[in-house]
Amino acid sequence: MAVLKNQRAFSLLMLGICLLLIPLQADAVRIKDLTSVEGVRGNALIGYGLVVGLDGTGDTARQSPFTVNSITAMLIRLGVNVRANLRMMKPKNIAAVMVTATLPAFARPGQQLDVTVSSIGNAKSLRGGTLLVTPLLGGDGHPYAMAQGSLLIGGFTASGKAGKVTQNVPTAGRIPNGARVERVAPHGLSIDQDKITLDLRRSDYTTAKHIQDAINAQLGKGMAKAINSGAVQVWNPESNAVELIAKLEQIDVSPDHAAIVMVDERTGTIVMGQDVRIDTVAVAHGNISVSITENPQVSQPGAFSGGKTTTVNRTRINVKQGKAKLVVLHKQVSLSKLVTALNAVGATPSDLIAVLQAIKAAGALHAELRTM
């Protein structure tokens, strides 16, 4: 029994050593998450339609005359003559809307799409409405899908004579599977083309080089070539683009990141990447607060003096200057140490933004400072 226990312990120890010897690829990301295939993209669709069945929350004839014109044209096409009563028409239960959707790449006729419906008139709410048949056009002006269905609205509005309550946006909604594809969109990818081009979502020369090397290591030397910072070309020797793209998407790559500091002065938000570095610099931070107090006093004249009661202004101004803290920020090698050093100054987020801008102006911040 003792021998079996020793053998089991030894086996577990060797297994642990083997796991430690396995090289771990830090920050590995699939090529699928870093790039897109050139020629494979979605297409924006748009259409103009009418939503009916509203409970008196639709457009008004005076402020949205195009709604009346659309209703008239639609009814005439359906064989209903409304020209004689055009002035009496009040479209309170109808709203003119814009319908938008995205046609995915390689979508086939008969597939369904989600659509977004948004009011373009003065309708108060689209809750309970139904979108009538609406052709969705592509950028070339041709219809690629037809939309129709009941709207799902995530907001509501309620009002009275002295108040109004609105939650979310009641004038926009969605129709899940509300459009059906009628036409195939053109695309720029064929299965037997000679090369596949991978477009980087964020252009970077180092990342493009890493993708090239990773593909060549997996599929063979000379299979991939980075042509610039935003594109990598891959040969398709077997004339099967689908199989090649499926292999490429699963290859892991360690992307490189530029040193960037994002600053939002409106909210006081600061985001720094891990590659941000600074040189040795001294920072002194202090603040000045000014307090102004108005304390008017009443001046009452003596009896039988003939004077008038008047108000005398009394203003008190206090100026308080905080003590400046001189902190030396040494050349950093990690983001955590940089953050710790900046926090040691004792500044608020708004003050930290000013400190970072000053360090950048002094040439000690080796990162791109972007303001949102």
CA 206, CA 227: separation in Å to the nearest integer? 12
CA 225, CA 217: separation in Å to the nearest integer? 12
H or E stretch covering 336: helix 335-344
Q: Compute CA distances 163 → 92, 157, 158, 159, 200, whole Å.
A: 21, 11, 9, 6, 52
CA 320, CA 347: separation in Å to the nearest integer? 16
Query: What pLDDT is attached to residue 315?
Result: 60
With vertex at residue 319, the alpha carbon angle to CA 317 and CA 324, rounded to the nearest 5 degrees, is 175
Candidates 68, 70, 168, 171; CA nearest to 119 is 171
Residue spans of alpha helices (H) in the chain = 2-21, 31-34, 65-77, 205-219, 241-249, 335-344, 349-361
Query: What pLDDT is attached to residue 225?
Result: 94
Helix axes 349-361, 335-344, angle to 10 degrees: 110
Candidates 202, 207, 205, 204; CA nearest to 255 is 207
* CB 55, CB 221: distance < 8 Å: no
Mean pLDDT by 10 residues, the chain (372 residues): 47 42 58 91 93 90 84 83 69 92 92 95 90 94 94 73 68 94 86 92 92 93 93 93 93 86 78 76 59 62 68 62 57 58 66 76 80 76
* CB 328, CB 278: distance < 8 Å: no
Burial of 292 (C-beta count, 10 Å sphere; 0-12/13-18/19+): exposed
Token pair for 17? 């050593």
* CB 54, CB 128: distance < 8 Å: yes
Query: What pLDDT is attached to residue 367?
Result: 81
**Which pTM does this prediction carry?**
0.67
* CB 66, CB 285: distance < 8 Å: no
CA 52, CA 92: separation in Å to the nearest integer? 9
Token pair for 132? 């009538």
All structural domains of the chain with their residue ranges: 43-181, 195-253, 260-292+315-371
Query: What pLDDT is attached to residue 4?
Result: 43
CA 295, CA 203: separation in Å to the nearest integer? 62
Candidates 122, 121, 108, 115; CA nearest to 44 is 115
CA 255, CA 189: separation in Å to the nearest integer? 26
Query: What pLDDT is attached to residue 289?
Result: 46
Query: What pLDDT is attached to residue 253?
Result: 92
Query: What pLDDT is attached to residue 257?
Result: 80
